[in-house]
Amino acid sequence: MNARELLISLGRETFLVIDQLLNAVLLGLAALVMAVVTGNPQNPAYSDETLSAHAWRAEKRDKPWGKFFRPVIDWMFLWQKPDPTIAVNGVVVTGHCQRAYLKEKLKRGLPPEYRE
């Protein structure tokens, strides 16, 4: 890898760490508050999950915040090109949040040594 590629990789990894930290802290605190207020256990925010993947997961569980934020996040990332290797029933996934969720399930965020 040359210096430019390393710098791009460092930027991408740093952005992902911040994204995962916000997911764990903000949504973890929100789940805690909702559990205390409603008395019902809430689904957790996972430390290795991005806000995008969590938004997709929340929308699929009919959570209001997922229904609101998933389209907003998808809109923010319209500039990204779909990954042709991420498909459902042979159709390439175009939405950012669904791609993020599927990448989590496929363990694409892990270093290659950990994917086996």
pLDDT digits (tens, 9 = 90+) for 11-67: 999 999 999 999 999 988 988 998 899 998 877 788 889 999 999 999 999 988 899
Q: What is the pTM of this model?
A: 0.85
Query: 75 is written with which tokens?
Result: 């809109």
On whether the CB atoms of residues 42 and 34 are closer than 8 A, the answer is yes
pLDDT in tens, 91-111: 999 999 999 999 998 888 888
pLDDT in tens, 71-96: 999 999 999 998 898 988 889 999 99
Q: Which residue has the tokens 């993947």?
A: 53
Number of domain units in the chain: 1
- What is the secondary structure of 44-75 as a DSSP string? PPPTT--HHHHHHHHHHTT-HHHHHHHHHHHH
- Tell me the residue range of the domain where 65 lies: 3-114
